[in-house]
Amino acid sequence: MGSVLVWVVRLCALVGWVATAVACTWLLGVAPTPHPWNGPLVWGAVAAGCAVVRALALWALRVPAAVTWWRRRRRGRDRVSLSKERYSDRRDRRDRRYRRYRWYQWSRRGDWGDWGDWEDAHELSFRGYEIWTKLRTAAVWLLVAFSSGAFFVALLTGSDAGGRAETLRDAGAEVSAATVVEEPAAVRADVDDEDVVQGYSSRLVVSVAGGPERLTVKGAYTSEKPREGTEVDVLWARSATRLGGYVHEGKDLPTIAAGRWKAFPDSELGGAMLFAFILLAVVFGGVLTPVFTLIADADDLQELAWSPPAQTIRAALAAAVYLGWRPLLLGEQPQVVELLFAGGGFFLVFLVYVFTSVRSLG
């Protein structure tokens, strides 16, 4: 039974890594596609499920150690001679070394090993486990960097096809050149924290080339202040002109109209996404990966990988982030708690993995 659980832990780790990589890759360019976003939804469920099953299997592996600890404690109460107790403990430990897995090893630490006996994590790995452990840890931290960047990028682009744009796309939208035919109304400057104008929001009436002569566009966003005669690109549906149009110079309208996957759109927002993704990947992947892979001892990394408390915390994070993203992937309105886990997912991944790994640095 023990060997089966060991392979369950290994396979869940491998499948979970692959599923997380696929789900996060899909998130990078899923925003312009129609809801529900079944790709990251399914792969995210696989990743979260593997993390939970892996944690449960690790706890199941600890059951024999807990039973032995309890029996030793009860036996210790009835001991009359301290020397006999020490001799019995040494004999028990010597016998267990010859088992296929050394499940019951006295814990050398005082925080996560207080149960007394625990499996020998070194015997649960392959030959040359030092190199394997280092490579495995590096792969985990590279995935942490990649997923953090993907979560952040997905937040920036999550509204690319939302609201009116999504309705127009579902009605068969297309992108055409248009000219403002009336003086813009409700013009409002969008400024940043330093009072620098970033763009203008307004209500426009435009004439579409090859389309209606008057099309209303509410909430149009332009980089320059619009005036009568200004030319813009408008997203509109020929079969549903009553829906009006959609103008946003910071977004890739052809990508939204086509509803196709595109990681970094050819727009101002796409450039910002690429910069943010590279920054997070370099900070997390380029800095934290060497720190937690090269500096940490292989024995400590192996114990961390087979530690039920540490892996349970990580599994809880995976489940929470997935449940937070689930309404967004389905196109539903998330609750406050779900929005917190979805919005803070990129930071929570970083925080939890650092917290659970810092012990391996000694």
Q: Which residues contact 322 (CB under 8 A, 6 or more apart)?
A: 44, 45, 47, 48
Q: What is the mean pLDDT of residues 59-64?
A: 82
> CA-CA distance, 75 to 70, in Å (whole number)?
9
**Which residues have C-beta within 8 Å of that of residue 101, sequence separation ≥ 6?**
2, 3, 6, 119, 120, 123, 124
How many angstroms separate the CA atoms of 218 and 240, rounded?
A: 15
By mean pLDDT, which of 37-51, 153-167, 251-265 is the weakest?
Answer: 153-167
Task: Please state, in angstroms and rounded to a whole number, the distance separating the CA atoms of residues 298 and 2.
Answer: 23
Q: What are phi and psi of 302, to 5 degrees?
A: -65, -40
Helices 308-330 and 345-357 pack at an angle, to 10 degrees, of 170
DSSP per residue, 309-320: HHHHHHHHHHHH
Give the span between the Cα atoms of 211 and 191, in whole angstroms.
33
Torsion sign across C-alpha atoms 339, 272, 167, 214: positive
pLDDT, tens digit, for every residue of 15-60? Answer: 999 999 999 999 988 877 888 899 999 999 999 999 999 999 999 8
pLDDT tens, 191-247?
888 888 889 999 999 999 999 999 999 999 999 999 999 999 999 999 999 999 999
Paired residues of 231 in beta bridges: 179
pLDDT at 92: 52
Whether the link from the prior residue into 36 is cis, omega within 30° of 0, is: yes
Please say if the pLDDT value at position 113 is more than 70. Answer: no
Q: Extract the runs of DSSP E, i.e. beta strands, from the chain.
A: 105-106, 117-118, 173-180, 185-191, 197-208, 215-222, 231-237, 245-246
- Each residue of 206-218: pLDDT tens digit? 999 999 999 999 9
Burial (CB < 10 A; 0-12, 13-18, 19+), residue 71, is exposed
Is 217:204 a contact under the CB 8 Å cutoff?
Answer: yes
pLDDT of 101 above 70: no
